[in-house]
Chains A and B, each alone.
Chain A
Amino acid sequence: KAGVTQTPRYLIKTRGQQVTLSCSPISGHRSVSWYQQTPGQGLQFLFEYFSETQRNKGNFPGRFSGRQFSNSRSEMNVSTLELGDSALYLCASSLNVAGGSSYNEQFFGPGTRLTVL
Chain B
Amino acid sequence: AQSVTQLGSHVSVSEGALVLLRCNYSSSVPPYLFWYVQYPNQGLQLLLKYTSAATLVKGINGFEAEFKKSETSFHLTKPSAHMSDAAEYFCAVTGGTSYGKLTFGQGTILTVHP
B is a partner of A:
no
Binding site for A on B (CB under 8 A): none
